[in-house]
Structure 1
């Protein structure tokens, strides 16, 4: 009489060790992708993001004794933007410096006008951690401008 052998379950003890190890490796890999390479919050530019090859990390700073400023700046794509009545020192919505990634060689521009009757303003353009442009203006309603190439 012929007896037919049926295949055993996939999750046998011998294979269980291999499957368990494979699952552990996959979970560890996914954890590292989420932890180090996840997309994160894309609402605002972040200075901690790493620049891609051929690009640089840019940070715009507005500091001083003035309490507010109207701003004009170019972003990493060369687009000009404006904002009125921003608090000094300038930070993003989450309190971090205003930063973004730009293509190497891009034109960078930042202008700030004091919205008060007194005080001073300093603008700085920082590329890859180095201040490459810095200017200061003093007095009410004065304008300070910084320009540089990334």
Structure 2
């Protein structure tokens, strides 16, 4: 290993942000550390609520309970919807025979007004449902075709 490489390695090792505390507080006990660790893990879990890959949909739907919305995107556990016009606490979507999607609004502040996050109650069941998988593939195909057409139209107009 050259001297330059060695120096770069040592700089990486010693100049990094250390994970252990630099100073110990006399009044902090092991129990406090456990509580602090649990709180950090819960915060991280909250940040990962939408960490799954998102599928762009931009699809208008009507719910069984009445009302409608536009599905903006989806990641099996959550739908992001726009223009939801119902106050129901439990929403059911039956887009195809053999597919029943049960959703509940998630109480979380959204950056954009008019957007609502719906938690999918039966996401584990849907992940195993072949009919749902086929329907989702159809939706993805339709969305990509719509995107291609709009790109082609923009090029043509330019």
Structure 1 and Structure 2 fold alike (TM over 0.5): no
Normalised by the length of structure 1, the TM-score is 0.30
Larger proportion of helix:
2
User: Which fold has the larger relative contact order, with Cα–Cα distance below 8 Å and residues 6 or more apart in sequence?
Assistant: 1
User: Which protein shows a greater Rg?
Assistant: 1
